Amino acid sequence: MIEVRGLNKRFGDSRPTSVHALRDVDLDVAKGEVVVVIGPSGSGKSTLCRCLNRLENPTSGEIRIDGRPLPAEGRELARLRADVGMVFQSFNLFQHKTVLDNLTLAPMKVRGVGRAEAERTAHELLDRVGIGEQAAKLPAQLSGGQQQRAAIARALAMRPKAMLFDEPTSALDPEMVGEVLDVMTSLARDGMTMVVVTHEMGFARKVADRVVFMADGEVVETGTPEAFFDSPATDRARDFLAKVL
């Protein structure tokens, strides 16, 4: 579903200050696979996610989604972005729109879905993430956990082929982390293709098909959760795990 080959991203042109945020990253995510990306702050995890739906332009390398190269711009890009849903640390809901409108706007505009169908789907999805009764509220009237579940439902409303999550629980109060991880777990069990950047090691162990460990812009290790957590192959991974576990 997602193929990344030789992906490089540099920020800034002038050598002394430029940051090489991604270095020759290769990544394959099969249909229905859940890949959890972990690694220290600044290792390039967010940049990788942002390149995957072209919120960031790669410096070099190839990205294919469902066999098709990532288009650089225009309508093709809009369609592709719709195929890859993204959920961020900050919930990014439209604050002046109701929860329901947050879910219906893009499907109507980008997918050409009619209002009645868009609303029916939206209600189904809000029920699925457990906030069916919040549809008429504004985001600010919801808790952080409810807002993040609304953001997940909004991404799902586009019927994406894959979902990217960039630290979706990092901005939440601790008591709300579980409800968001539960929604993600159920999505994974339903067969969604997912790339999840997270520091929630319990989630990684339980839900990931594969863990990708990044450091300094590189993929340093990749393996099953058992292999990675129980017998990491590199010093960098061992050092990281010693700090977070």
Work out what residue 61 binds among ligand ADP, Mg ion, none; the CB cut-off runs from 5 to 8 Å by kind.
Answer: none
Phi, psi dihedral angles at 210 (to 5 degrees): -145, 145
Please, which of residues 40-59 interact with ligand ADP by CB under 6 A?
41-47
Instruction: In angstroms, give the least distance from the CB of 9 to ligand ADP.
Output: 8
CA 221 vs CA 152, 211, 234: distances in Å? 28, 8, 8
Is the Cβ of residue 113 or residue 195 nearer to ligand ADP in the bound state? Answer: 195
| Nearest-CB residue for Mg ion | 46
In this chain, which stretch among 35-43, 60-68, 176-184, 221-229 interacts with ligand ADP, using CB under 6 A? 35-43
Instruction: In angstroms, give the least distance from the CB of 64 to ligand ADP.
Output: 21
Q: Give CA–CA dist 80/171, Å, rounded.
A: 27
Among positive and negative, which fits the CA dihedral 43, 86, 211, 185? positive
Phi, psi dihedral angles at 119 (to 5 degrees): -70, -40
Tokens 């410096």 belong to 59
Is the Cβ of residue 43 or residue 147 nearer to ligand ADP in the bound state? Answer: 43
Q: Does residue 94 belong to the site contacting ligand ADP (CB under 6 A)? A: no
Tokens 């390398």 belong to 61
Is the Cβ of residue 14 or residue 41 nearer to ligand ADP in the bound state? Answer: 41
Is the Cβ of residue 47 or residue 134 nearer to Mg ion in the bound state? Answer: 47
Is the Cβ of residue 51 or residue 142 nearer to Mg ion in the bound state? Answer: 51
Q: Does residue 121 belong to the site contacting Mg ion (CB under 5 A)? A: no
Q: Give CA–CA dist 173/225, Å, rounded.
A: 26
Instruction: Kindly compute the dihedral angle of the four CA atoms of residues 223, 224, 228, 231, in this order, to the nearest 10 degrees.
Output: -100
Binding footprint of ligand ADP on the chain (CB under 6 A): 11, 19, 21, 39, 41-47
Binding footprint of Mg ion on the chain (CB under 5 A): 45-46
